[in-house]
A and B are shown apart, each in its own frame.
Chain A
Amino acid sequence: MTDQPSWVKIRRAFDAPIDVIWSMWTKPEEFKRWYGPMGMSIPIAEMDVTIGGTRKICMEMKSPERTMTMWFTGVYKEIDAPRRLVYTESMCDADGTLISPQSMGMPEGAPDITEVIVELTEEDGRTMMTMVHVGVPEGTAGEGGWNQAFDKLATLLV
């Protein structure tokens, strides 16, 4: 399958060296600080930043009545510090078992698996970041090496 699925692409310049931005993405304590703004916090971020390593993120929203949590898991597919990072993302429960986005109230059509691609370049102490978040349609999984990734994930979650 050579056709590409749908994606979101965002380019940003940050007034910081490339290593600072890289650790924002790869160090749990720093990732937690920016990833969940606007009423959401990140109480848990487990990141095994190695190829095939898993990530598990918990997002939490506290209201006076209740605390809502959402869990996300995935695997790291490419790591080329400090220039390129590729990882997958799926919704899961607290045990890491994958769940469909629709069962969590996401709209119909929200993909089960998505992939985040981060590319960084440095120029005069500033960092240019290109982030692409790709929705991976069902059925393309096997061809893209997704099965291996999820086999690996499954063994790690047992």
Chain B
Amino acid sequence: MSDPNQLDAAFAALANPTRRAILARLAQGEATVNMLAEPFDMSLPAVSKHIRVLEDAGLITRGRNAQFRPCKLNAAPLRAVAHWTDQYRHIWDMRFDAMDRIISEVKDTKDD
């Protein structure tokens, strides 16, 4: 994904538990808005609004079937988000391993 605005939209869309739950449901297969709304204690328009945010972020696509327009997961922006966080987790883990080693070195010197 090359458009930074789309990545911003993906970050913002993912920062909401309802929207993450909707994506988790769609990971199992496409679903209509009614099906997606079922587990939530909120109005259909409220759920539709969340779906709109996900759609604008490019995280889901809607079918052309006029009456039901089933939602489908589009995983490409998710991969871009995951890439950044995974990379940094790895870098920090290595740094903190190094911090641990320095701490034990200092300890050993003191114990001698």
A16 and B15: CB pair below 8 A?
Answer: no
B103 and A15: CB pair below 8 A?
Answer: yes
Residues in A whose Cβ lies below 8 Å from that of B80: 107-109
> B102: which of A1, A33, A131 is its contact (CB, 8 Å)?
A33
Residues in B whose Cβ lies below 8 Å from that of A151: none
B14 in the interface (beta carbon within 8 A) = yes
A16 and B103: CB pair below 8 A?
Answer: yes
How far apart are A52's CB and chain B's nearest CB, in angstroms?
25
B26 in the interface (beta carbon within 8 A) = no
Selected A-B contacts with CB under 8 Å, 6 pairs: A3-B12, A10-B89, A34-B98, A109-B80, A131-B96, A137-B11
Assembled-state Cα–Cα distance A143/B75 (Å): 29
Give B92's nearest chain A residue, CB to CB.
A10
B8 in the interface (beta carbon within 8 A) = yes
The range of chain B's interface size is 20 to 34
The secondary structure that dominates the B interface is helix
Proximity bits, A15-42, B CB within 8 Å = 1, else 0: 1100011001000000001111110000
Proximity bits, B70-102, A CB within 8 Å = 1, else 0: 000000000011011101110011111111101
B107 in the interface (beta carbon within 8 A) = yes
How far apart are B90's CB and chain A's nearest CB, in angstroms?
9
Instruction: Please name 19 further chain A to chain B contacts, defined as beta carbons within 8 Å, in addition to the given A5-B11, A110-B84, sorted by A numbering.
Output: A6-B84, A6-B85, A8-B85, A8-B92, A14-B99, A20-B103, A24-B102, A33-B102, A34-B95, A34-B102, A35-B98, A109-B4, A129-B96, A131-B92, A131-B96, A135-B11, A137-B11, A139-B5, A139-B8
